Structure 1
Amino acid sequence: MSSRAGRGRAAVLLLVLAGVTALSAVPVWFTTSGTTALAGSVDISVHGTDVAPGILAAAVAILAAGLATGLVGRVGRWVVAVVVAGCGVLVVATTVSALSDPAAAVAPVVAAQTGIGHLAGPVASSAWPTIAIAVGAVDVLAAGWLVVASRRWSGPTRRYQATTAPAAPAATPDERADWDALSRGDDPS
């Protein structure tokens, strides 16, 4: 396997993980009911993005890490792996926090929709928080795979780095040549 194919595979994996991580927070995680002054009891659906907004932030960070995979050197790969692992831990931690006390997690959403922060019924959980925990664990595993796989990659390309060419000696003093030399970063004096 060439280093270019390995980098591409890692970048695609991280981009897919970013999408899956974001998608795990979009569906309805909890349902409950609240009371309003005008409508009485209303059913309230609470999305994962409402109770665990850190998951979307983690997905954006994983997306950036995936894009950076093709650009960074050896030390940068370690930074990318640490970022991806940290994002996976963030996904798991915020989801576990929401699952540990669902009533407290949904109370701000109920208050925003009803004007009253009091729940009128029990909180029912869907399977999506469990899926989000699994996705966070996969994010951490992907960071470990990235560390192992990146050992075989070569350094970043020097294609877009500035090159310094030796300055040609000036035969006669010329103001324009002096200004051109300054523009190139050479000292004409």
Structure 2
Amino acid sequence: MIRSRSRAVVLLLVLGGAAFAVSAPVWLRTTVATALEPQVAVEVPGTTAAPAVSAAAFVVLAGALAATLAGRVARWVALAATALAGATVALGAGAVLQDPQAPAVAAAADAAGVTTLTSPVTVTAWPWLTVAVGAAVVLVSALAALGVRSWTLGDRRHERAGAGPRSAPGPGGPADRDPDAQADWDALSHGTDPSADR
């Protein structure tokens, strides 16, 4: 489990950014023939081949930020959302690896107006990296979810000791140990020694 909230959030932010980064380069390459040119190169970026990947990457980033601000229950929800988004990243890239022909044909139709490919579809390394990033998001989200209770304990442990409601003045109470500076100044301005009754 990941016991540090800051570590979990940083990891998820890095992985969310990585998911954006790996979806931008060219995932697929092929060629088509047109009436004007016998061979036209077609390059398909990840954002076109698997548009769900970049959308899921945004959810990972949003979920990581939500985990920094939300309470314990909402943190569970945010981490569940990042885990689902990570699975979407991995599955989106996996679908392209399983059938690269379909997105290549669709991209060829958009780029050149033809759907008949004249060369096999070449798959770059980026979809494989995307699957790895998505799996890492799922793993980090699961480990962070296991450590959510320790996040709450850590938050309480680091709260300021004086953050709670102040005790009523009384003999030996907090008011005696920590005098109100503003009241002392007011007493001095009226010609009274604030330490006379202490």
Which TM class, normalised by the smaller chain length?
0.7 to 0.9
Letter in 1 for 2:63: A
1:67 and 2:48 matched: no
CA contact (8 A) 2:60 2:86 kept: no
Count of residue pairs brought into register by the alignment = 154
Measure, in 2, the Cα distance between the counterparts of 1:48 and 1:130: 11
Partner residue, 1:8: 6
1:95 and 2:93 matched: yes
Measure, in 1, the Cα distance between the counterparts of 2:13 and 2:93: 21
2:68 partner SS: coil
Partner residue, 1:34: 32
Partner residue, 2:21: 23
Over 6 Å off, 4+ runs: none
1:153 partner SS: helix
Query: 1:92 Cα shift?
Result: 1.5
CA contact (8 A) 2:97 2:127 kept: yes
CA contact (8 A) 1:10 1:69 kept: no
Query: 1:9 Cα shift?
Result: 2.1
Letter in 2 for 1:29: W
Partner residue, 1:86: 84
Query: 1:142 Cα shift?
Result: 0.8
Structure 2 gaps, min length 5: 157-198
TM-score, normalising length: structure 2: 0.73
Partner residue, 2:109: 111
2:39 partner SS: strand
Query: 1:94 Cα shift?
Result: 1.1
Structure 1 gaps, min length 5: 158-189
Query: 1:154 Cα shift?
Result: 2.0
Q: Cα RMSD over matched residues?
A: 1.9
1:48 and 2:66 matched: no
Answer with 1 or 2: which has the greater Rg: 2
Query: 1:34 Cα shift?
Result: 0.9
TM-score, normalising length: structure 1: 0.76
Query: 1:149 Cα shift?
Result: 2.2
Measure, in 1, the Cα distance between the counterparts of 2:45 and 2:146: 36
% identical equivalent positions: 39
Partner residue, 1:150: 148
